Amino acid sequence: MDDGFLMEVCVDSVESAVNAERGGAGRIELCAGLVEGGTTPSMGLLQVVKQCVRVPVFVMIRPRGGDFLYSDREVEVMKADIRLAKLHGADGLVFGALTEDGRIDTELCTALLAVCRPLPVTFHRAFDMVHDPLVALETLISLGFERVLTSGCDSSALEGLSLIKRLAEQVSVPWGGITERNLQRILEGSTASEFHCSARSARDSGMKFRNPNVAMGASFSAPEYSIKVADVAKVRTLNAIAKNIL
């Protein structure tokens, strides 16, 4: 935060983590499955990323894609993943949980926070699915979350800027659709001191033999022979824009 702001980049590979740090990221959010909005990464990925970067690494705790209403067995998975992430050097954790009526699951969040401590914890974009964001924010502050990722309960931080302005500055971190074309407007409009982005570009696979008839994922998944990684140039550009504003 020496420059008055902090840029957090979400990554799902060692290459992206290294590129994010090279571009000026002050913190990394480590995930798997970014096509699903981010899920818990492997501990092997965490170990190697920690060996390769010096900036803090916050680990996503999300056992699956989809909604944020978790079963008892999924909760046990989350607790186990938190313990393992702490064991393997996580600098912070990221999770979110809701009740079936779209409110913060205070009981579950309290239990998971207890497992996370003493590490800092971010409430992720489950926040954008709540019934009443202002009430939800008060709940999260009272529970002790250090920050909340939000696109203002809209499709992007730019679209949700009016709500982001109303959220408490000390915990609200704009996220969602942030690019070099809209970052200035988002930061000036939100007065946030942190922002969260992926800053990715697609690069072609190194595979020479390719079978066009087979896909490893569902129909909505990324092309088999195109790999998205954090782009050093994009991260540096966003970094420079933020420095000029904050």
169 band by pLDDT with thresholds 50, 70 and 90: low
Contact call for residues 212 and 25 (beta carbons, < 8 A)? no
Whether 1 has a pLDDT exceeding 70, the answer reads: no
Beta-carbon count within 10 A of 52 CB: 13
Q: What angle do CA 119, 236, 52 make, to 5 degrees?
A: 50
Domain boundaries, the chain: 4-201+220-242
- Please tell me the pTM assigned to this model: 0.90
pLDDT of amino acid 167? 82
Nearest Cα to 164, choosing from 96, 154, 75, 111?
A: 154
Average pLDDT over residues 80-92: 98
Average pLDDT over residues 230-234: 94
Whether 246 has a pLDDT exceeding 60, the answer reads: no
Average pLDDT over residues 136-142: 95
Average pLDDT over residues 53-75: 97
In percent, how much of the chain has pLDDT > 90?
61
For the domain made up of 4-201+220-242, give the CATH fold: TIM Barrel (3.20.20)
pLDDT of amino acid 205? 85
